[in-house]
Amino acid sequence: MNIDATKQVLPEDLSIANQAPEEYRDQFPRGRWQWLMRNRDRNGLDSALIQIGPKTILVSKEAFQKWLISRLG
């Protein structure tokens, strides 16, 4: 998981990664999100994630938006 120590992530930017960020849940239904999470090391989604402990993963909404734009562009 990538953590950029030079940038402070605001708490409202983070959410638990058990589903897509709220703004994107229509585009990424649960099954599609689970597939992305399982393959995050191959698809680059890990750049938008922060792992806290063995089972808790957070997603940065800003980093997710950047990842999504990079995949569409």
DSSP secondary structure of 32-65: HHHHHHHTHHHHSGGGGEEEETTTEEEEEHHHHH
Cβ count within 10 A of residue 41: 9
pLDDT band for position 6 (cuts 50, 70, 90): very low
Distance (Å, rounded) from C-alpha 7 to C-alpha 66?
A: 15
pLDDT confidence of residue 4: 55
Q: Model's pTM, two decimal places?
A: 0.81
The answer to whether residue 7 sits within a structural domain is no
As for how many domains the chain has, the answer is: 1
Q: What is the mean pLDDT of residues 10-21?
A: 88
Give the range of the structural domain holding residue 46, as residue numbers without chain letter: 12-72
Q: What single DSSP character describes residue 15? A: E
pLDDT band for position 8 (cuts 50, 70, 90): low
The answer to whether residue 6 sits within a structural domain is no
| Phi (first) and psi of residue 58, to 5 degrees | -110, 150
Beta bridge partners of 49: 59
The answer to whether residue 61 sits within a structural domain is yes
The answer to whether residue 48 sits within a structural domain is yes
